[in-house]
Amino acid sequence: MDKYEDIINLPHHVSKKHPQMSLYERSAQFAPYAALTGHGDAIKETGRLTSKRVDLDEEEKEILDRKFEIIREKINENIQVKITYFIPDLRKEGGKYEEVTGVIKKIDDYNHLIIMEKCEIPINEIVDIDGEILNLE
């Protein structure tokens, strides 16, 4: 006699009280369990690199101020400039440096912004402005 001969040919039991689960619901029982929800995201965030903000010394600030003066005088000449500025990270200490090349449309002293064709840049985050017209040497 085989081991399961007494039950092998019996019909599959279907409950009369409980509805049968769909395949989707049955498969959910075997889904991986994340005991520490968000732990993977926290590890990724910790591994994400940021740059430290560089503080300008007095001489660099003075040069930047002179470049702003030139830009103010020649704002209507559509001068092409390259601006390097810092973008603070919203989730952790530090941030990143970006460079934007384009024409300055306006200097908004009230909101402390440089308005360019494609973006607005906070003046206090600018570390360098470069352009042919700005050579101070």
Domain ranges for the chain, please list them.
58-134
Q: How many helices and strands in the chain, by DSSP H and E? A: 3, 5
What integer pLDDT is reported at residue 83 of this predicted model?
Answer: 94
User: Terminal CA-to-CA distance of the chain, rounded, Å?
Assistant: 103
Question: How do 120-122 and 113-116 pair as beta strands?
Answer: antiparallel
What integer pLDDT is reported at residue 60 of this predicted model?
Answer: 93
pTM, two decimals, is 0.64
- CA distances (Å), origin 78, targets 16, 35, 36: 80, 58, 55
Q: What is the pLDDT along the chain (137 residues), one digit of tens a residue?
A: 578 888 888 888 888 898 888 888 888 888 776 667 777 777 777 777 788 888 999 999 999 999 999 999 988 988 889 999 999 988 888 899 999 999 999 999 999 999 998 899 999 999 999 987 766 54
Of 135, 137, 131, residue with least CA distance to 77: 131
Q: Is 86 left (phi over 0), alpha (psi -120 to 50) or beta?
A: beta
Of 125, 131, 134, 113, residue with least CA distance to 54: 125
